[in-house]
Amino acid sequence: MTDSILMFLAEHTAVAALLKLLLLVLGFVMPLASLSTWAERRQSAMMQDRLGPNRANIGPVKLWGILHFVADAIKMMFKEDVVPAKVDRFLFALAPVMAIAPVLITFAVVPFGPDLCVGQVLSVVTDPTTCKATIPLQVARMDVGMLFYFALASLAVYGTTLAGWASYNKWSLLGGLRASSQMMSYEVCMGLSLMGAFLVYGSLEPNAIVTAQGSNILNWGIFTQPLAFVLFFTAAIAETKRAPFDLPEGEPELIGYFVEYSGMRFGIFFLAEFIETIFLAAIVTTVFLGGWQVPGLDSSGFGSFHLPHLAVVLLQVVAWSLKILFLCWLQLLIRWTLPRFRPDQLMRLGWKQLLPLSLLNIIITAAVVLWRSGGK
Amino acid sequence: MSAHHAPSSVEASSATGKVRGKVGVRVVGRPDSLEQRVYLPEVIRGLGVTAKHFFANLFSRKYTVTVQYPEEKVKYPDRNRGLHRLMLRDDGQVRCVACMLCPTVCPAHCITIVPEETGNQNEKRPRIFEIDELRCVVCGLCVEACPCDAIRMDSGVHAPAVDFRGDAIQTKIDMLKRGTQSVATQGGVGSDWRSKQPSVKQYDPPK
């Protein structure tokens, strides 16, 4: 029964892709994004010696205040949706969609587990390449994977810029302009800093990068490309537009590009920001933290300790989730620790420090790769 | 990360900081060690501090200072001025003799007293004694003024939130409910009470 369902999915890739998309987006990304809205307030409180929101409850069920995100969602949905008189109505409605759609679509290229060997789920699989039928635990496997990600990530800037432009408000326009200049500046550095990793692992396809990193922790991106890790992480945090790079929002002076938005439209911008942090965590995990790899766990188990295929896959999916959770936590930690940059400091950091360093990283990596391959 | 230059008008002394001029401005120079200018080690140190607080508070609430108010309450200090209360005599009657000193001294005009006869030629008592807690500025002058120790503000209860303004008026019954017997001598002890007090060590301010 299970085998026949899996076989069906392995043959009908479109159905499988749809199912995986639902599983990934509705089962992991959206719940995690909603939880982050609570975790952000709770974690910042813990860091600042407070308690944070812990009171939302359904009857006696309190769950440390996790239900606050339910309360928030209900509030957002029932709030009045104010549309100012002079806005460009079409672009005003389009902007939140443009902000959230690219970040959700890019999850398609993220591998959240290894290939599932259909028909051998309960037996030990020593060499996954010998499987007759496989279900890749990745929605879309394409050779341009990372380029697809960069292409869509640069689309996300339209959401913020359009929101600023369409709102017919000076402050949102300033926020939108800041967002576009900041995101364009840091995209350059993001792309260039990943170039070193592409050279080392020889592929642009995320799952191939993860497979190339293997279960040896010293072969993971963070050890082979430490400089690129720092550069990419910094640039990508700037790309999410959160503190210490939250100039587009600029709470003390601008309120941001979404100042005219209310209700669920604002909620979508808010959610998009959190999904971006999760996506950033996913990309950093894929390229630098070995994706779904568990240290020491091969496809047959830990060394001579054999495990059934299903257990291995489950362990790897759990490892992937834990890495993402850790990076989300780390981003919240950074967001609530570091003070904000000034616009000129932001531009100087992006163009004068991160960009030359990422170019230097490419040159050094290329030289080392060439030397190790024997100059061929 | 930041540019390494000193402001031109002020002579900066980066390492130690220098006290200059009458007001003692401490000039702090730009960070000049490579470690600080690379920025990253300091960032990691900062993250370490916040992470330490996060985990300590997560597992043991080590540094957490929050008081969960309605469930947990901090005891007010002894001299806190709370909701008024009217004190009782030995026989449980109100100590107040309706001398009208407290409504006279009250800067907010929040005290209303209507006196009545008691049958005793020497005393009155309040028929109505009401305090509008919305008007009260909690200055405590009524307590200072009272010659009979009849009104006090040491109940330790603060004025409650109300739905209607009228509910904020404390009546005589309300305030008597919080009252206890006072051991002070009714009618005072005479102007020479201070000399009858046991000698107390005088406050000796530190030199």
Q: Residue A353: list chain B partners with CB under 8 A.
A: 1
Output the CA–CA distances (angstroms, integers) from residue B194 to B190, B191, B199, in the order listed: 9, 8, 10
Number of domains in chain B: 1
The alpha carbon of residue A201 and the mean position of all alpha carbons in its chain are separated, in whole angstroms, by 20
pLDDT on residue A332: 94
Phi, psi for residue B152 in degrees, rounded to 5: -135, 160
Q: Which of A49, A50, A349 lies nearest to residue B1, judging by beta carbons?
A: A349
What is the pLDDT averaged over residues B182-199?
70
Q: Kindly report whether the peptide bond that precedes residue A244 is cis, defined as omega within 30 degrees of 0.
A: yes
The SS3 assignment for B119 reads: coil
Question: How far apart are the C-alpha atoms of A80 and A359, rounded to whole Å?
Answer: 49
In a domain, B99, yes or no: yes
Tokens of A108: 């398609």
**Token pair 């642009």 in the structure block, residue:** A204
Tokens of A107: 């999850």
Q: Check CB contact of A349 with chain B, cutoff 8 Å.
A: yes
Q: Which of B2, B40, B54 lies nearest to residue A230, judging by beta carbons?
A: B40
Q: Residue B38: list chain A partners with CB under 8 A.
A: none
In a domain, B55, yes or no: no
Q: Which of B2, B46, B53 lies nearest to residue A338, judging by beta carbons?
A: B46
In chain A, which among 298-337 make CB contacts under 8 A with chain B? 333-334, 336-337
Helix (H) / strand (E) element for B130: namely strand B124-132
Per residue of chain A (376 residues), give pLDDT as tens: 777 888 888 888 888 888 988 889 899 999 999 999 999 999 999 999 999 898 888 888 888 889 998 998 899 999 999 999 989 999 999 999 999 999 888 999 999 999 888 877 778 887 777 787 888 888 888 899 899 998 988 888 888 899 999 999 999 999 999 999 998 899 999 999 999 999 999 899 999 999 999 888 899 999 999 999 999 999 999 988 888 898 888 888 888 888 999 989 999 998 999 999 999 999 999 999 999 999 988 888 888 888 888 889 999 999 999 999 999 999 999 999 999 888 898 999 999 999 999 999 999 999 999 998 886 6
A163 in Cβ contact with A261 (< 8 Å)? yes
Q: Residue A48: list chain B partners with CB under 8 A.
A: 53
Helix (H) / strand (E) element for B126: namely strand B124-132
In a domain, B131, yes or no: yes
Which parts of chain B fold into alpha helices (H)? Answer: 34-38, 40-60, 101-105, 141-145, 172-177, 193-196
What are the tens digits of pLDDT across the range A269-327? Answer: 989 999 999 999 999 999 999 999 999 888 888 888 888 888 899 999 999 999 999 99
Q: Residue B31: list chain A partners with CB under 8 A.
A: none
B152 in Cβ contact with B85 (< 8 Å)? yes
Q: Which of B1, B50, B64 lies nearest to residue A337, judging by beta carbons?
A: B50
In chain A, which among 192-221 make CB contacts under 8 A with chain B? none
What are the tens digits of pLDDT across the range B29-45? Answer: 877 788 878 888 989 99
Q: Which residues contact A178 (CB under 8 A, 6 or more apart)?
A: A247, A248, A250, A254, A343
pLDDT on residue B108: 95
Q: Is the pLDDT of residue B133 over 80?
A: yes
Q: Residue A336: list chain B partners with CB under 8 A.
A: 50
Q: Do A353 and B46 touch (CB under 8 A)?
A: no
Confidence category of residue B195, pLDDT binned at 50, 70, 90: confident
Q: Kindly report whether the peptide bond that precedes residue B7 is cis, defined as omega within 30 degrees of 0.
A: no
Per the model's pLDDT, the better-predicted residue between A318 and B194 turns out to be A318
Question: Which value, in Å, is the radius of gyration of the alpha carbons in chain B?
Answer: 30
Q: Do B51 and A51 touch (CB under 8 A)?
A: no
Q: Which residues contact A166 (CB under 8 A, 6 or more apart)?
A: A87, A88, A90, A91, A92, A94, A95
In a domain, B196, yes or no: no
Question: How far apart are the C-alpha atoms of A164 and A178, rounded to whole Å?
Answer: 10
Confidence category of residue B90, pLDDT binned at 50, 70, 90: confident
Give the residue from chain B lying closest to A331, CA to CA: B47
CATH code where residue B100 lies: 3.30.70.3270
pLDDT on residue A32: 92
Q: Residue B53: list chain A partners with CB under 8 A.
A: 46-49
Q: Do A353 and B1 touch (CB under 8 A)?
A: yes
Q: Which of A46, A49, A338 lies nearest to residue B65, judging by beta carbons?
A: A49
Q: Which of A49, A345, A348 lies nearest to residue B63, judging by beta carbons?
A: A49
Q: Check CB contact of A46 with chain B, cutoff 8 Å.
A: yes
∠ at Cα A359 (A357, A365), nearest 5°? 100
Q: Is the pLDDT of residue B92 over 90?
A: no
What is the pLDDT averaged over residues B21-29?
75
pLDDT on residue A42: 93
In a domain, B153, yes or no: yes
Q: Is the pLDDT of residue B9 over 60?
A: no
- Closest-CA distance, A229 to chain B, in angstroms, reads 13
Tokens of A334: 């950074």
Phi, psi for residue A49 in degrees, rounded to 5: 60, 30
- For residue B157, give its domain range: 85-177
DSSP per position, A21-71? HHHHIIIIIHHHHHHHHHHHHHHHHHHTT---S----BTTB-GGGTTHHHH
B129 in Cβ contact with B175 (< 8 Å)? yes
A266 in Cβ contact with A76 (< 8 Å)? yes
A173 in Cβ contact with A255 (< 8 Å)? no
Count of CB atoms within 10 A of residue B72's CB? 8
Q: Check CB contact of A226 with chain B, cutoff 8 Å.
A: no
Q: Which of A49, A334, A353 lies nearest to residue B53, judging by beta carbons?
A: A49
Question: How far apart are the C-alpha atoms of B181 and B171, rounded to whole Å?
Answer: 19
**Token pair 């800093």 in the structure block, residue:** A193
In a domain, B51, yes or no: no
Q: Do B64 and A51 touch (CB under 8 A)?
A: yes
Q: Do B65 and A338 touch (CB under 8 A)?
A: no
In a domain, B34, yes or no: no
In a domain, B111, yes or no: yes
Q: Is the pLDDT of residue B196 over 90?
A: no
